[in-house]
Every structure is written in C-alpha cells, then in structure tokens.
Amino acid sequence: MVFSDAIIDTKKKVNLLGDTAVGKTSLILRFVKSVFGEEYLKTIGTNVYTKEVSITGANVKLIINDIMGEKAYRAVQKGAFMGSTGAIAVVDVTRKETLDGLIDDWLPRYWELADRSNPIILAVNKDDLPDKEINLEILEDYSEYFCDVFFTSAKVGDNVEECFKTLAEEVAPNLQIRIQDIEDIIHSKTISNNKELIDALLAYASELGDMPYEKREEILVESGIDKFLLDQKDEVALEIFGDVGDEEAVRFGKLLMYWYQENEDEYSASAVQRLLDKFEEESG
C-alpha cells in the first residue's frame, strides 16, 4: 500500500464476523492486550476495542467491533455493521460448518449494511488444534470472498498481529462509510424540534462516534426514552418522538457527550455539543 511521505492519522471502524465460539474475542484480546484465556469468552451485545497500528506512512486506529455470534441478535449486529470499513471473518479450523455459516449467513448480512467493496480477511482460527477440517485446498473454492487468508491461533499468537495489520493496510485508504456526515447535519439539516435532534444524535452515535450498540440503548433509557419503540416504522417513530420532551432529548445528547469525554474522544464530544447548540438556536 503506497501513501505520501506525510504521516496520515486515521481511525477506521472494523468488524469481526463469525459463528459462536470460533474465537473472535480471543483473537481481539490476543491482538489488543497480548493475552489468552483457556475459558470460552462469550460476548454479550457488542464490545468495542481500539488499537493503533503503524503501517507505511500512516497510523491507523482500528475501532474493532466484537459482536455476539448468536444469529438471533440481529439488531445488535446491525448497529455494529453500519459504518464498517472492513472485517476479519473468523472460522474454526476444526469445524467446516463455521465456514459454511460465514458464506451463507454472515457475509450477506454484513453486505446489506456495509459497502460491498469492503476488504474481508479470512482468519482460520485454532490452527494449533489437530483434526482440521479446513485447509488451503478447500479454501480455493472461496477465494472470491476474501482479499487474504491467515491460519491463526489466538492461543499461541500465530499470525494474529499479521492478520490485523493487513486489515489496517487494506482499510487505511478507504473513506469511512457515513450515512450522515456530521458537517452535513450541522450545516444543511434543520434541528428545530426534539425528533430532529434525536435523529441527528442517533445518526452520529450509530455511524460516526465509536459507541457500542448496547451503550446507546443504556443512555436512551437513562434519558427517559423508550428504546424498544425506536425500531418501529418511520410514521410510528414520528409519533413516538413527538411524545418525547425537549428535556429528554437534550439529556440524551448531554449523556452522549459525557460518555465521549470519559472515553477521551474530544472530537465526538464537540460534535454532539454542536448538535445541541444548533437545536437550541433553531428551536427558539
């Protein structure tokens, strides 16, 4: 990957895809914290990890979304996929069905919400185990889906660093996928009532700010907004938001801002403050 001589600092939202117990969380913890636990680490909701990777001419901060593997939790997975710039697809080398599940289920759902051109790297995990059911010969039939393949072991660390670094190299030149850019919201969108404010805040927290899905839900509840009604159709949502008072909407924004400040994301905290300022100005 070729960059200019200047050092580029960028952050990219990425995902790990794959069935339950393939080792997604173990790979992340090996990469981010250089640790491994023998016990099965079950992800509840979405966990977000960050690590900066230095590649030629660039420092890439990976915002790694680790999501629960159960297929029933589609809403959680949806929030994690939106705004993604690339992914590591993880399979268990001892279970061929995890590769089938990846092709038949995970990748189609990922591509529904993320750009079809996003790089996908395959991590064939648990390569330290015997009784392998996946090898290079089998993977020849799946080469169209992946830009690279690594046989990894979270337990001993084989190829884990290389896998994530390759992902950083692949996503570094790509623009972050943004449904609503913050400057577009601030300069060209009207935020004159509480519905428009909540829409703008949710757009930011979902697409641009690095906030886990379950944290957004927690803040909604703490703000006095019924999170279970937010997945309704637009006309229903309009009625729901109409019942939310200005106080709840502003509280939601302030709690978002406090969370970003606590997590040392001053850009996001400033962006949320600007949305609140725009609402105060335009709502009268």
Q: What is the pLDDT of residues 25-76, one digit of tens each?
A: 899 999 998 887 655 444 444 678 888 898 877 788 888 888 765 554 455 5
Same domain, 137 and 189: no
Please give the residue range of the domain that contains residue 203: 182-283
- Looking at the domain assignment, is residue 78 inside a domain? yes
Nearest C-alpha neighbor of 49 from the set 36, 70, 67: 67
Please list, in sequence order, all residues whose beta carbon lies within 8 angstroms of the beta carbon of residue 110, skipping any fewer than 6 positions away: 15, 17, 81, 84, 87, 120
- Other beta carbons less than 10 A from residue 173's beta carbon: 12
Q: Which of 171, 203, 219 is the last residue of a domain?
A: 171
Of 228 and 124, more confident:
124
Nearest C-alpha neighbor of 133 from the set 181, 100, 180: 100
pTM of the model: 0.65
233-259 pLDDT, tens digit per residue, is: 344 444 444 456 788 889 999 999 999
Same domain for 62 and 31: yes
Is 1 inside a domain boundary? no
Give me the number of domains the chain comprises. Answer: 2
